[in-house]
Chains A and B, each alone.
Chain A
Amino acid sequence: MTTNVERPEVPLFRRHLYWLQPRWRDPGWLAFALNRLSGYILVLYLLAHFVILSRLTAGPAGWDSLLEIFGSQPFLVGDTLLIAAVVFHGLNGLRVTALTFGFGSRHPSLLFGVVFAVSVVITLLAGWAILFE
C-alpha cells in the first residue's frame, strides 16, 4: 500500500540540514557543503563588518580601541580563515559556472580537487603574510 503519491514532506529543520550529511558523499558533496559553509561565513562577516564600521560614528577613540583587537593574534587567524572562505567560495563559484557551461563536466571531482588545492595554497600564502610578515 502506498502512503502518498507525492514525495514525502520533509520537516523544515531537517530540510536545511540534509545538505550537511556527509554519509558516503563524494567530492561533489564536499564542494557543495564547503561552498555553503563559506557562504554563511561571508554573510556573517558582512554583517559584523557593518556593525564594526558603525563604530566610526563614535569618533577616533572608539575606533582606535578596535584597532588593537584587530591586530591581536586570534583576530589575525580569523582573518586568514576569512581569506580561505573568500578564495574557496569564489573559485568554487567559477567551478560551478564552468560546469554549467560544459567545461570539465566529465571530471567535476577533479575540478574540485584543483579548486581545493589552489584555495589551500593561496590561504597558506596569505596566512604567512598576515601572521609572520
Chain B
Amino acid sequence: MADTELVLRLWRTDGSVEGPAMPGHFDEVRVAADPSRDTVLDVIERAWAEVDRTLVFRHACHHASCGTCAVRVDGRERLPCITQLGDVWNGRSPLTIEPLRNTPLIRDLASDPSPTIARLAALRLPYVRTVEADVRAASGVTDDEDVGAAERFEDCIECLACVSACSVASGDPEYLGPAVLAAADRIVEEPRHEDARRILDLVGGEHGVWQCRSVWACSAVCPSGVDPAGRIMKLRRRLLFGEEGDFAAHPSSSAHLGVGA
C-alpha cells in the first residue's frame, strides 16, 4: 500500500517541566505513513527524525520486550512498538499520542516509571526466575488448565500501561497500583524465601488491594496478559481466607524450586 499522509497530534510539554502541573499542548505533525507496514512507533520516530528533533519519547527494543515506549494512542494505553498503524488509524482522522497517566512526566511523551519501580523494589521481587517452560517440565504439568494456574507474573514488562489505565491510581497517588499488586501476588504465590506475610501486610494496607474498584481496565490494556485485576482479586482472597499460594502448594514444583514444605 502506498504511503498516505498521517496527522499526528503529539502531546508536548511547555518549556521546562518543573512541578506537578505539567502544562502542555498538542502539536500537529504530518508524516508519510503506510498503515499496512508501519507501527505507531515507526510514525512517532518518523515525526522525530523528519519533522521535530526536539520531541522527547522513550523506546528501546521495538518488540514489546522492554515496555519503555508505552503511551496512550487515541486515549488507550498501548505499546506503540507492536501496535500496527492500520489497527488504530482509520486513514483519515488525526492520531492522538499522549503520555501515560498517573506517572510523573519527564517531557513530552516520556513518562518516568520510578515510583512503580521503587514500589516493586520494596517488594524485593526476585530478579531471576527459572523460565516457565522449565518449571512446567519439571513439574510434570501438561494440560492447559494447570499451565494457566502457574502463569508467570514475570510476563510483566513494567510498561505501566495498567497504572495509567487505573482509575484508583488517578485519585490516590499512594495507591500501590496494578503492576505492584500483581507482583505481590506472584511473590506470595511463589515466595522463594521471601516473607509472604510481610507482602500480605503491605498489600492489605490503606493503599492496597481494597482500594481496587474492579474496573478491570488494567487487565484490558496489559500487552503481556498479566491480568493484574485477577491477581488483585486473588490477593483479596488470600487476605480473607489465608489461601496458600497455588504454586508453592504444588508438590512437584515446590520441590523443584526449593520452596514450600
Residues of A at the B interface (CB closer than 8 Å) are: 1-10, 15-16, 18-19, 23-26, 28-29, 31-32, 96, 99-102, 105-106, 108-109
A5→B170 CA distance, assembly (Å): 16
Partner of B233, one of A3, A9, A16, A99: A99
The chain A residue with its CB closest to the CB of B16 is A1
Query: For residues 1 through 60 of chain B, which have their beta carbon under 8 Å from a beta carbon of chain A?
Result: 16-20, 22
Partner of B106, one of A2, A31, A101: A2
Contact A15 B171, CB 8 Å, known A3-B104, A4-B20, A26-B220: yes
Instruction: Determine if A102 and B237 form an interchain contact, defined as CB atoms under 8 angstroms apart.
Output: yes
Known interface pairs A3-B105, A6-B173, A10-B173; 7 further A-B residue pairs with C-beta atoms within 8 A, sorted by A's residue number: A6-B104, A6-B115, A8-B173, A19-B213, A26-B220, A28-B216, A32-B167
The chain B residue with its CB closest to the CB of A106 is B230
Instruction: Determine if A8 and B22 form an interchain contact, defined as CB atoms under 8 angstroms apart.
Output: yes
A109→B230 CA distance, assembly (Å): 13
For this complex, into which size category does the number of interface residues on chain B fall? 35 or more
A9→B107 CA distance, assembly (Å): 17
Partner of B112, one of A2, A9, A109: A2
Contact A5 B18, CB 8 Å, known A15-B170, A18-B167, A100-B237: no
Instruction: Determine if B105 and A8 form an interchain contact, defined as CB atoms under 8 angstroms apart.
Output: yes
A70→B124 CA distance, assembly (Å): 61
Q: How far is the CB of A38 from chain B (nearest CB, A)?
A: 14
Instruction: Determine if A19 and B214 form an interchain contact, defined as CB atoms under 8 angstroms apart.
Output: no
Instruction: Determine if B103 and A7 form an interchain contact, defined as CB atoms under 8 angstroms apart.
Output: yes
Contact A18 B217, CB 8 Å, known A2-B114, A3-B19, A108-B229: no
Instruction: Determine if A23 and B18 form an interchain contact, defined as CB atoms under 8 angstroms apart.
Output: no
A6→B167 CA distance, assembly (Å): 17
A129→B102 CA distance, assembly (Å): 47
Q: How far is the CB of A31 from chain B (nearest CB, A)?
A: 7
Instruction: Determine if A1 and B106 form an interchain contact, defined as CB atoms under 8 angstroms apart.
Output: yes
Residues in A neighbouring B169, C-beta threshold 8 A: 7
Q: Interface digits, B70-113 against A, CB 8 Å rule (1 contact, 0 not)? A: 00001110000000000000000000000000111111000010
Residues in A neighbouring B106, C-beta threshold 8 A: 1-3
B236 at the interface (CB under 8 A from A): yes
Partner of A2, one of B102, B104, B230: B104
Q: How far is the CB of B15 from chain A (nearest CB, A)?
A: 12
Q: How far is the CB of A63 from chain B (nearest CB, A)?
A: 40
A32→B165 CA distance, assembly (Å): 13
A130→B2 CA distance, assembly (Å): 61
Instruction: Determine if B171 and A16 form an interchain contact, defined as CB atoms under 8 angstroms apart.
Output: yes
Contact A24 B234, CB 8 Å, known A2-B112, A8-B173, A29-B215: no
The chain B residue with its CB closest to the CB of A27 is B216
Residues in A neighbouring B214, C-beta threshold 8 A: 28, 31-32, 96, 99-100, 108
The chain A residue with its CB closest to the CB of B166 is A18
Instruction: Determine if B171 and A3 form an interchain contact, defined as CB atoms under 8 angstroms apart.
Output: no
A109→B236 CA distance, assembly (Å): 20
Partner of B18, one of A3, A8, A16, A102: A3
Residues in B neighbouring A31, C-beta threshold 8 A: 214-215
Partner of B76, one of A3, A24, A99, A109: A24
Instruction: Determine if A3 and B118 form an interchain contact, defined as CB atoms under 8 angstroms apart.
Output: no
Residues in B neighbouring A28, C-beta threshold 8 A: 214-217, 220
Contact A5 B115, CB 8 Å, known A24-B76, A105-B230: yes
Residues in B neighbouring A99, C-beta threshold 8 A: 214, 216, 233
Query: For residues 104 through 148 of chain B, which have their beta carbon under 8 Å from a beta carbon of chain A?
Result: 104-107, 112, 114-115, 118
Instruction: Determine if A3 and B170 form an interchain contact, defined as CB atoms under 8 angstroms apart.
Output: no
